[in-house]
Structure 1
Amino acid sequence: MENINSLKEKPLWQLTGKEFLDLIEGSSTKSNTENSENSKFTEKKYVYGISGIQSLLNCSESSAKRLKKSGTIDEAIIQNGRKIIIDVEKALELLKNNNKPGLKKR
């Protein structure tokens, strides 16, 4: 098998079938490992608005509003005007460590 870099320098019409397959296989293997490494660090999950809190915790709208108003998950909330974005992992961690008597733990 030729070096992948030398195959990249060759015009496409001059590649043999084997060289072409080696080139595709070499580049896809490299990109798959790069993508999996990058996704470990950059992938975060967010929910949006009161309805996002409802779906995350499977609760009613009033319970979601009460939870947001309580300040328990304030560190997980980004709010600009009426737009609300909640970091899922952080919100669940804050709820797990919650010691406020007003909110029930299950």
Structure 2
Amino acid sequence: MDIVTKCMSEQVKLIPEPDVEERKFVYGLKGLADLLGCSVVTAHKIKNSGVIDNAITQIGKKIIVDADLALNLIRKRKFK
């Protein structure tokens, strides 16, 4: 058992830890509404306003939003 434990600990040291920070995505208008804490209608208005265009990828009906980027873009913009 000691040999196996020693080999396993050496292998763990050889595996590089990823430097890439994990990105969080939300899907659809419902996901965007949950992220922003608003209604689906308001999330749709924010999406269509163009404020978070850089955070949105849309393929057909599927909407994918980079959550962190969307929140940063909204913080920079002041809504009336």
TM-score grouping bracket, smaller chain normalisation? 0.7 to 0.9
Name the structure where helix makes up a greater proportion of residues.
1
The 3-state SS of whatever aligns with 1:41 is coil
1:29 to 13, 28, 34: 13
Following TM superposition, where does structure 1 have runs of at least 4 consecutive aligned residues deviating by more than 4 angstroms? none
The CA distance in 2 between the partners of 1:60 and 1:89, in whole Å, is 19
Tell me the CA shift for residue 58 of structure 1. Answer: 0.9
User: 5+ residue gaps in structure 1?
Assistant: 1-16
1:58-85 per-position Cα deviation (integer Å, ceiling 9, x unaligned): 1111111111111110110001111110
Matches within 5 A, 1:1-106: 17-31=1-15, 34-35=16-17, 38=18, 40-99=19-78, 103-104=79-80
Tell me the CA shift for residue 42 of structure 1. Answer: 4.7
Total equivalences in the alignment: 80
The CA distance in 1 between the partners of 2:4 and 2:41, in whole Å, is 60
How much is the aligned-residue C-alpha RMSD, in angstroms?
1.5
The CA distance in 1 between the partners of 2:2 and 2:55, in whole Å, is 52
The 3-state SS of whatever aligns with 1:59 is coil
- Greater radius of gyration (CA): 1
Instruction: Point out which structure has higher relative CO (alpha carbons under 8 A, 6+ apart).
Output: 2
